[in-house]
Structure 1
Amino acid sequence: MAKNVSLASLDQKLAMAKRCSHEGVVAGAKAAVVASVATAIPTFAIGKMLPWARTYLNPTAKALIVSTAAGMAYFVVADKTILKTARQNSFKQA
């Protein structure tokens, strides 16, 4: 038997989903900035100090290292934040 779902409850669920995803985007962006700084400083410092890194790590490789760390941090933190807020909202509704 299908539930009778009102338009108001659908709007409420949509608003809650938008809020969850917005919180995830904000948290992911903050984590990406932190990861970029935390990765860029040692990457560029090592590129100046170690002869091996000076030879084999060109600027493109250094940028790839930093952007990979930032991207991974963004997606991991955004996903965890969205799941956390969705779980909290499901417990509130139950």
Structure 2
Amino acid sequence: MASVTRASMDQKLAMAKRCSREGVIAGAKAAVVATFAAAVPTLASVRMLPWAKRNLNPTAQALIVSTAAGFAYFVVADKTVLAQARKNSLKHAEMSKQHK
């Protein structure tokens, strides 16, 4: 079993920070897209459909849009972090095979 050094821990921490940063950026981009994708049909339906005009007050409209944005953020951020971790894990496994 290999010993854990300060340098290897610092490297792992830097890699984890980079993975989470990429996840946050990808999630934010997805949230912006989802906000527009949910806001346009929601606002259009409130103006055009009598049922929506009667039943969807501004709070309901905001809830629909923010739920879509939040869902998109967390799904994309999670998938990005997992993909980066998988890529880094495979890279680490290849490097440790080369050192043996």
TM over 0.5: yes
1:73 maps onto 2:40 in alignment: no
**Matching residue of 1:50:** 49
Please give the alpha-carbon distance, in whole angstroms, between the structure 1 residues aligned to 2:26 and 2:3: 36
**Matching residue of 2:39:** 40
Please give the alpha-carbon distance, in whole angstroms, between the structure 2 residues aligned to 1:4 and 1:12: 14
1:16 maps onto 2:15 in alignment: yes
Runs of 4+ that moved beyond 3 A: none
1:27 CA drift (Å):
0.1
1:89 maps onto 2:88 in alignment: yes
1:74 CA drift (Å):
0.1
Aligned identity (percent) is 71
Please give the alpha-carbon distance, in whole angstroms, between the structure 2 residues aligned to 1:55 and 1:69: 22
Task: Mark the runs of 5 or more structure 1 residues left unpaired by the alignment.
Answer: none
Name the SS of the counterpart of 1:5 in structure 2.
coil
Please give the alpha-carbon distance, in whole angstroms, between the structure 2 residues aligned to 1:6 and 1:60: 53
Task: Mark the runs of 5 or more structure 2 residues left unpaired by the alignment.
Answer: 94-100
What is the Cα-based RMSD across aligned positions, in Å?
Answer: 0.8
1:4 CA drift (Å):
1.4
